[in-house]
Amino acid sequence: MIPELGLFSLILALPVALCTGVLSLLGAQRGRPAWIALARPGSVALAFLVGVAYLCLTWAFVQNDFSVLYVARQSSSSLPIVYRVAGVWGGHEGSLLLWLLMLTGWAALVRFYSRALPDGLRARVLGVLCLVAAGFLLFILLTSNPFLRLIPGAAEGRELNPMLQDPGLVIHPPLLYMGYVGFSVAYAFAVAALMSGQLDAAWARWSRPWTLAAWVFLTLGIAVGSWWAYYELGWGGWWFWDPVENASFMPWLAGTALIHSLTVTEKRGSFKNWTALLAVSTFSLSLLGTFLVRSGVLTSVHAFASDPARGVFILAFLVAVIGASLLLFVWRAPRMGLGGRFALVSRESLLLANNFLLVVATSAVLLGTLYPLIVDALDVGKISVGAPYFNAVFVPIMLPLLFLIGVGPFARWKQASAAEIARRLRWTLALAIVLPIPLYSFFEVELIGRRPLLNLSLMLALWIFLSAGRHFIQQVRATQGGGSFIAAALKQPLHFWGMHIAHVGVAVFVAGVAIVGAYEAEKSVKMAPGDTVGINHYRFRFLGVQSIEGPNYQALRGEMALLENDRVERRLFPEKRFYHRSAMPMTEAAIDAGLWRDVYVVLDEPIDRERPDDEWVVRIYVKPLVDWIWGGAFLMALGGLLALLDRRYRIRRRAPIQEIRV
């Protein structure tokens, strides 16, 4: 009964979404207050109906209702409760429902936090969001109904893929989807502004906090996903350039460009068309990502059962969304005017360079991701594009961008002086070049220059860190007056704090990537209980394997002691699990995480399968600074959050927007 209620609620949501979308857009176009007024209750009703459907599906999971096909496929009664709740988004149908829930949730948030917006614009934004939701509702109802019954019902479910039975499943998809889907708000704002012809600084100011919020979620989502892959897949890698990772990374790159170009549009009124185009592209890339992941054209951990009808539907939807918004753009954009002029050396042109590099990087990743599909479609053969391509292309594009991060804040708007910037930053640059030298001896005696990329990355990381500090101090001093430095620092606007914290996050990330790439150590060895092996200055003693029983699996648990001067410093317990229902083996790495290094131990294979208490192939990694990678991403997200909380975005009723001086 409950699943039918959920389905009914979803079916009811479709006309609500369509009516609200069409009527509020038409109403805004023709100036009909009655139709415009429909947008607010309509979007809330939509969110409510989708919420009910979502809760019904969750209920079916919690109650182990295996007469629902999706539940029978994704869950089992021995599954711990937390994975039954999270299991809702463990498969195709449920994750689409989560997508939709997020989308309508964002729309409801816009409805509640947009009192300062003119009625017409708000109706348009909500209308666009409702139409996108209608597209997804159609998709779910026609091709991916999660409430489909299994008659007769199964006595027991098939169990969630063991790889997904992990806390990562609980946090990674919701965060990622919040980000993915959140860009729909930026998209809706851009489309609404294009429709009304008011693509101006006020538009940029309104859409900026929403874009930042989506970007913060996406940053966290990608970071958590990367961390999950790191400890779960058992290879100790943190990024594989897997097509599905790229699918989430491309909107992130475009979104990063977008939050920077929005600054220019808000402050100076320039780049308006470009910003609108970026907002459209960012959401289009989110949709493309969904298409790539959900249509089954790509195969990876994330590609669930593939069904050609789904692929065709998403492709058609994608073409409709991108095509319609590009048409609108071509029709409307030329009327928008150019905005403020700027000189060759200015904050604007530096941000333009940022956008240029980020967009080019996005395109390069897009090409590498789609190339196998294009080649396959042309029937020239089957190919794969490996990680070396992405590294070879992505890194050189990012290096100049990293350098520019250090320069950007020092350049004035409109017209800056290259000589003055150089004068302010020369000592910072010199320090960034010299400082890494003593650092090398800290890790390993390595001839300087033997690893040019490592040296350059470390210098750039330091450069970003030092110049952010330099700019911060300079700015605080300028406003300090007679008071204390700390008091003046705390008085700085939050967006200023946010910018520097996010940039320092980039520095931390780059340092982590460079060091772990150059200095990680790996050993794959055969060990009998009692054997000892050394890596760098660490020593490991294998103490044997025990059999243990988990809630829905049986495991062989190894014990490895990390020794320091023959004293046991720490014990690590890597596992090899066998899940009962799916009969799938899983490797669970044991990790001793630390600020300066992770020790990562994996139980690979018993030499003799009949005697698991004897010799094993064991893999051990020592990874210096690997946690800086996620720490850096976290700092970036924190910076975004602070910028988003800045006072100037607080809701004021009909706050007058300052005129832009051109």
Partner 1 sequence: MKARHQRLLLVLAALAALGLIVALVFSALKENVAFFHSPADIAAGKAPENKLFRVGGLVEAGSLERQEDGVTVRFVVTDNIARVPVHYKGILPNLFSEGKGVVAQGRLAEDGVFVAQKVLAKHDENYMPPEAAQALQAAHEAGIGNRTMNPSDPGFLEKK
Site string for partner 1, 528-567 (x = CB under 8 A): ----------------------------------------
- Rounded to a whole number of angstroms, the minimum distance from the CB of residue 306 to partner 1 is 9
Exactly one of 171, 433, 584, 645 binds partner 1 (CB under 8 A); that residue is 584
Q: Which amino acid is at 124?
A: R
| Spatial separation of the C-alpha atoms in residues 135 and 437, rounded to whole Å | 56
Torsional sign, CA 506, 507, 509, 513: positive
Alpha-carbon Rg for the chain, nearest whole angstrom, is: 27
Question: In the numeric block, which tokens belong to residue 363?
Answer: 């395109």
Is 300 an interacting residue with respect to partner 1 (CB under 8 A)? yes
Is 414 an interacting residue with respect to partner 1 (CB under 8 A)? no
Closer by beta carbon to partner 1, 67 or else 415: 415
- Near partner 1 by CB under 8 A, which window of 29-37, 122-130, 389-397, 632-640? 389-397
- Near partner 1 by CB under 8 A, which window of 172-180, 332-340, 356-364, 561-569? 356-364
Size of the site for partner 1 (CB under 8 A): 45
Closer by beta carbon to partner 1, 148 or else 418: 418
| Spatial separation of the C-alpha atoms in residues 2 and 555, rounded to whole Å | 37
Exactly one of 77, 349, 475, 492 binds partner 1 (CB under 8 A); that residue is 349
Is 173 an interacting residue with respect to partner 1 (CB under 8 A)? no
Closer by beta carbon to partner 1, 349 or else 492: 349
Exactly one of 604, 645, 646, 657 binds partner 1 (CB under 8 A); that residue is 604
Exactly one of 392, 434, 487, 548 binds partner 1 (CB under 8 A); that residue is 392
Closer by beta carbon to partner 1, 157 or else 234: 234
Q: What is the DSSP string of 313-348?
A: HHHHHHHHHHHHHHHHHHHHGGGG-------SSSHH
Exactly one of 322, 605, 657, 660 binds partner 1 (CB under 8 A); that residue is 605
Site string for partner 1, 143-162 (x = CB under 8 A): ------------------x-
Q: Which residues 6+ apart lie within 8 Å of 646 measured at CB?
A: 493, 494, 495, 498
Torsional sign, CA 391, 395, 398, 402: positive
- Rounded to a whole number of angstroms, the minimum distance from the CB of residue 244 to partner 1 is 11
Is 404 an interacting residue with respect to partner 1 (CB under 8 A)? no
Give residue 322's Cα distance to chain centre: 21
Question: In the numeric block, which tokens belong to residue 448?
Answer: 């300087």
Q: Which residues 6+ apart lie within 8 Å of 312 measured at CB?
A: none
- Rounded to a whole number of angstroms, the minimum distance from the CB of residue 501 to partner 1 is 29
Exactly one of 31, 152, 334, 381 binds partner 1 (CB under 8 A); that residue is 381
Closer by beta carbon to partner 1, 418 or else 434: 418
Is 383 an interacting residue with respect to partner 1 (CB under 8 A)? yes
Closer by beta carbon to partner 1, 289 or else 368: 368
- Near partner 1 by CB under 8 A, which window of 74-82, 97-105, 257-265, 297-305? 297-305
Is 389 an interacting residue with respect to partner 1 (CB under 8 A)? yes
Taking phi first (over 0 means left), then psi (-120 to 50 degrees means alpha), and beta for anything else, what does residue 197 get? left
| Spatial separation of the C-alpha atoms in residues 105 and 103, rounded to whole Å | 5
Site string for partner 1, 607-636 (x = CB under 8 A): x-------x-x-x-----------------
| Spatial separation of the C-alpha atoms in residues 528 and 556, rounded to whole Å | 15
Closer by beta carbon to partner 1, 604 or else 646: 604
Is 118 an interacting residue with respect to partner 1 (CB under 8 A)? no
- Rounded to a whole number of angstroms, the minimum distance from the CB of residue 164 to partner 1 is 10
- Rounded to a whole number of angstroms, the minimum distance from the CB of residue 91 to partner 1 is 12
Q: Per-residue b/e over 203-216, b at no fewer than 16 CB within 10 Å?
A: bbbbbbbbbbbbbb
61 contacts 85 by C-beta, under 8 angstroms: yes
178 contacts 595 by C-beta, under 8 angstroms: no
Is 422 an interacting residue with respect to partner 1 (CB under 8 A)? no
Is 658 an interacting residue with respect to partner 1 (CB under 8 A)? no
Please give the angle made by the CA atoms of 168, 171 and 176, to the nearest 5 degrees.
110
Closer by beta carbon to partner 1, 63 or else 300: 300
**Consecutive H or E run containing 586:** strand 585-588
- Near partner 1 by CB under 8 A, which window of 101-109, 133-141, 298-306, 653-661? 298-306
Q: Is 202 helix (H, G, I), strand (E, B) or coil?
A: helix
Beta strand 521-527 with 616-624 is: antiparallel
181 contacts 135 by C-beta, under 8 angstroms: no
- Rounded to a whole number of angstroms, the minimum distance from the CB of residue 355 to partner 1 is 11
| Spatial separation of the C-alpha atoms in residues 468 and 407, rounded to whole Å | 9
Strand partners for 204? none
- Rounded to a whole number of angstroms, the minimum distance from the CB of residue 243 to partner 1 is 13
C-alpha distances out from residue 365 to 37, 165, 243, 312, 591, Å: 43, 30, 9, 23, 31
| Spatial separation of the C-alpha atoms in residues 646 and 263, rounded to whole Å | 13
C-alpha distances out from residue 408 to 249, 352, 416, 500, 654, Å: 24, 11, 11, 11, 33
| Spatial separation of the C-alpha atoms in residues 562 and 574, rounded to whole Å | 13
Is 385 an interacting residue with respect to partner 1 (CB under 8 A)? yes
Instruction: Provide the binding-site residues for partner 1, judged by CB under 8 A.
Output: 161, 163, 234-235, 299-301, 341, 343-344, 349, 352, 356, 360, 364, 367-368, 371, 381-386, 388-389, 392-393, 396-397, 524-526, 582-587, 604-605, 607, 615, 617, 619
